[in-house]
Structure 1
Amino acid sequence: MTTTLQLASERLLLREWQPRDLTPFAAMNADPAVMRYFHAPMTQQETEEAMARYNAQLARDGFTMFAAEDRATGELLGILGAQTMRFAIPNVAQPAVEIGWRLATTAQGKGLATEGANAILNYLRETTQLHEVVAITAVENQPSRRVMEKLGMTYMPALDFDHPNIPADSHVNRTVVYRRAL
């Protein structure tokens, strides 16, 4: 890897993905509790592909969905960062950049998503020409929606949409959109 960008917050280190992350990241992505607001858990192959995609995006764009590790222990806690969306949200300027997070159950409810997302927002504000970011989640994902609100993001109900990559009959198909200027 030629990119070695790392972002730090009080408790988190956000960094590029490394081979040692595969096992804990795949376990997290296979955990039904972690993936309850996603259509389905991810396979190990899907996890490997995601890690490669995230590192490629970091090299290309200078930001990505980073590996989020505990600064004190080095334990992988999840994923946190920003990415250029791979599909268009109706009525949102394209290409849209999404901020997002997914944490292992042991890391949830501790303010880590908000802490790490604030570090990402500061980084994007200081290093990119972006004017806004969006965040999306299933309507029922109240924990993520609370994080979005803590970040100063605004819910845009007129932009709610059916997720194009999730079956229409899935309980997580209907998706909400939050926005925030940088």
Structure 2
Amino acid sequence: MIPVLTTERLTLRAPEAADFEGMYSILGDLRSQYMDGPMSRADAWNFFSREVAGWTLHGFGYWSITATESGDYLGSVGFGRHEWFPETEIGWCLTSAAEGRGIAREAASAALKWGTVQPQITSLVSYIDPPNSRSIRLAEALGAVRDDDAERPTASDLVYRHEVRP
């Protein structure tokens, strides 16, 4: 049910239970401050489980990003439509070892190529905490445009709108 996407360096695949340790290394760290972190292990498990559940509930969700050559877990990218989200979001997060290497852009580009043609994704945004300059730069590099009129799950979030292909 969950498609496997590949890029030059990456494999985006279904999350596995073993990926949780890598996800917890992201969510339990201060670097996750723009994602309501740092999180306890239990809260990180709930976050991780939500990402997996999207595939069953909506027909889209998050992939685990792995290095094709080594199989190392590098992070997560994909689509979320949580009850408190006004629209479907594309989001990303990386382990500290994966940052600064263009991995988020490569993974998000592959996810966008898949997601923007899915009939169940009729609009697509990224909700970004204003101090998160790296995510803002990535959203803009992916072609997203800031939409100050859009609804948002948190009043302080910035909304970056991605084009959805008909």
TM-score (norm 1): 0.80
Q: Are residue 36 (structure 1) and residue 27 (structure 2) matched?
A: no
Deviation at 1:175, TM superposition (A): 1.1
Q: Which amino acid aligns with 1:17?
A: P
- Residue among 142, 148, 151 paired with 1:157: 148
Note if contact 2:23-2:48 (Cα within 8 Å) is conserved in structure 1: no
Q: Is the 8 A contact 1:64 1:83 kept in 2?
A: yes
Q: Which runs of 5+ in 1 are unaligned?
A: 90-95, 165-173
Contact residue 6 and residue 12 of structure 2 kept, 8 A: yes
- Deviation sequence 1:9-45 (CA, Å, 0-9, x none): 222211222121122221221111x213233212222
Relative to structure 1, the CA distance from residue 162 to residue 51 in structure 2 (aligned partners, 3 Å threshold; closer, same or farther) is: closer
Partner in structure 2 of residue 140 of structure 1 = 131
How far off is 1:49 after superposition? 2.1
**From 102, 114, 119, the counterpart of 2:105:** 114
SS in structure 2 of the partner of residue 118 of structure 1: helix
1:8 equivalent in alignment to 2:6:
yes
Which structure's CA Rg is the greater one?
1
Query: Contact 1:131–1:181 at 8 Å: present in 2 too?
Result: no
Structure 2 distance, partners of 1:148, 1:60, is 26
| Cα distance in 1 for residues equivalent to 2:88 and 2:22 | 26
Cα distance change of structure 1 residues 27 and 129 upon mapping to structure 2, 3 Å threshold: closer
Aligned pairs for 1:33-182 within 5 A:
34-89=31-86, 96-159=87-150, 163=154, 174-182=156-164
Identical amino acids, percent of aligned pairs? 26
Aligned-residue CA RMSD in angstroms? Answer: 2.0
What stretches of structure 1 move > 3 A for 4+ residues in a row?
Answer: 158-162
- Structure 1: how far apart are the matches of 2:88 and 2:54? 12
In the TM superposition, what is the alpha-carbon distance from 1:111 to its structure 2 partner? 1.4
Aligned length, in residue pairs? 164
Give the secondary structure class of the aligned counterpart of 1:157: coil
